[in-house]
């Protein structure tokens, strides 16, 4: 009788171990796309539709700046993304942000001026997104919704901003690099 009681649990354990050893084979499918092209981004003057990477802030009198963070010379510009044969947007990733980076530094939260010659002092270039918020140097804009098939215009504005109590006259040119990110 002792052997039969011992044999029953042993047989059950062997049976359970044998069934847990069976596993089903399966397959995982991965999909995606490899693209060698990037989408062209054009800088557009909304006043006349001209495409150029030059946004003119014009000539501004230094007396227009009444103190730190005073702005003058504001101009609108747009960035246009046009889908096409070389630019296919993923319909699941149409939320875009833009990050601007100062080439010259020296502008604090904003974008420094070219150091050539005798540039203006106490001033930088500032950029606002469509919400009217300043986009700090190295930070991202608000989200812009892109269209997967039609051109999308993203609205921005640029202006001079006083970074010191006194702004001295001189050339006030700046170069700013940008990166458009899709999420």
Mean pLDDT for all residues in the chain: 86
Residues 76-120 have pLDDT tens digits of 999 999 998 778 888 889 999 999 999 998 788 999 999 988 999
Strands 71-81 and 41-44 come out as antiparallel
Query: Predicted confidence band at 136 (pLDDT cuts at 50, 70, 90)?
Result: very high
Answer for the pair 76, 156: CB distance below 8 angstroms, yes or no: yes
Residue partners of 109: CB distance under 8 A and separation at least 6: 134, 136, 137
- Model pLDDT, residue 1: 47
- Model pLDDT, residue 90: 86
User: CA separation (Å) from 105 to 75, 91, 114, 138, 177?
Assistant: 21, 36, 9, 11, 12
Which fold, 41-182?
Answer: Immunoglobulin-like (2.60.40)
């Amino acid at each position: 009788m002792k052997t039969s009681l011992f044999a029953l649990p042993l047989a059950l354990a062997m049976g359970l171990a044998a069934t847990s050893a069976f596993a089903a084979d399966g397959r995982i499918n991965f999909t995606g796309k490899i693209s060698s092209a990037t989408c062209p981004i054009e800088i557009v003057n909304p006043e006349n539709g001209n495409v150029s990477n030059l946004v003119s802030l014009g000539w501004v009198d230094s007396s227009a700046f009444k103190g730190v963070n005073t702005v003058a010379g504001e101009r609108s510009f747009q960035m246009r993304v046009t889908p096409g044969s070389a630019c296919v947007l993923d319909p699941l990733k149409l939320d875009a942000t833009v990050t601007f980076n100062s080439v010259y530094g020296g502008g604090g939260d904003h974008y420094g001026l070219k150091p050539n010659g005798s540039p203006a002092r106490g001033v930088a270039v500032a950029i606002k997104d469509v919400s009217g918020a300043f986009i700090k140097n190295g930070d991202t804009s608000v989200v812009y919704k892109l269209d997967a098939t039609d051109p999308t215009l993203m609205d921005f504005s640029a202006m001079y901003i006083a970074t010191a109590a006194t702004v001295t006259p001189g050339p006030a040119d700046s170069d700013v690099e940008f990166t458009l990110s899709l999420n």
